Amino acid sequence: MPDNLQLNSEGKLKHFLTIEGLSRRLLTEILDTADSFIGMTGQQVKKVPLLRGKTIVNLFFENSTRTRTTFELAAKRLSADVLSMSMSTSSTSKGESLLDTIRNLEAMFVDMFVVRHAISGAAHFIAQHTAPNISVINAGDGQHAHPTQAMLDMFTIRQIKQDFANLRVAIIGDILHSRVARSEIQALNTLGAAEVRVIAPKTLLPAHVESLGVSVSHNLTDGLADIDVIIMLRLQKERMSSALLPSESEYFKCFGLTEDKLKLAKPGAIVMHPGPINRGVEIDSKVADGPQSVILKQVSNGIAIRMAIMAMAMQKQGASG
């Protein structure tokens, strides 16, 4: 991916496709901008006029309730007009190509596409071929990236822990199939976390995983030592092409997060999960609903972080790029 595809000629955000290649300064600006929106949830009128007159199209080629609804709410709170399209029922299922769909929507004078697609690189492809005045936000593509999820998790971590410099973060579970894990690792390393540790069976780790900038553990008991933040991942059963696990119960026994295992981390450790949760497979309900869980806070923060990214990408209007 060309480094400048996401930025306009002034270095401002134009598209948001991946964390890779973005600076710490820009990621911090996203977090700071989200901070300015977080207080709106308590207001009687939860709207600002920043994107009034703009049209945002949600193009979801993959099902997602939480991501799609938070993008929709975020756009509406910025006063944009929003069109949400379920692409399985649209003309793409009748044989119309992806580019034809984009061209037809461009002819309706839209300003932004929010894209979720099962194929890695789909959002980049659209960003490369769309009109220069349109922004593209990646809402998850294949096994490649889920940058807004990573940023809402960074926002949640910063809210509670304040600073990344001394943090040790463990990402646990299906690293191999997880676009969230890749984006989380990139974001944590860019923001200066002390250590990013992945804990998983060997069958659920990509080859040469250390090259991503992580330390590796295959044992949950040892791996949770000194950890400040625990990010549990869903088993991506729909993306597994073969039997990578003996059974779900065996997986839970070895890698599931229980109250007893949580005690192995630092006393103030927080527990996160990008959802949806498989209770009793990767995490025990008592932990998911317990005092150290910030899972629902992640969902709430998703609106503010997506508002921030949309608002910043729209700043490029009028600038060349």
Structure tokens at 61: 């080629």
Which of 54, 116, 161, 182 is catalytic? The answer is 116
Q: Tokens for 248?
A: 């779900």
User: What type of residue is 210?
Assistant: E
Could you confirm whether 15 is annotated as catalytic? Answer: no
User: For 95, phi and psi rounded to 5 degrees?
Assistant: 105, -5
Q: Is 54 a catalytic residue?
A: no
Whole-angstrom Cα Rg for the chain: 19
Pick the closest to residue 54 from 82, 96, 87, 16 (CA basis): 82
Spatial neighbors of 182 by CB under 8 A, at least 6 apart, are 143, 144, 145, 212
DSSP for 38-62 reads HGGGGSSS----TTTT-EEEEEESS
Find the catalytic residue in 25, 65, 89, 94.
94
For the record, the structure tokens of 140 come out as 């998850």
Please pick, among 67, 101, 148, 190, the residue that the annotation labels catalytic: 67
Annotated active-site residue 66? The verdict is yes
Out of 12, 66, 239, 297, the active site residue is: 66
State yes or no: is 46 an active-site residue: no
297: annotated active-site residue: no
Active site residue ranges: 66-67, 94, 116, 146
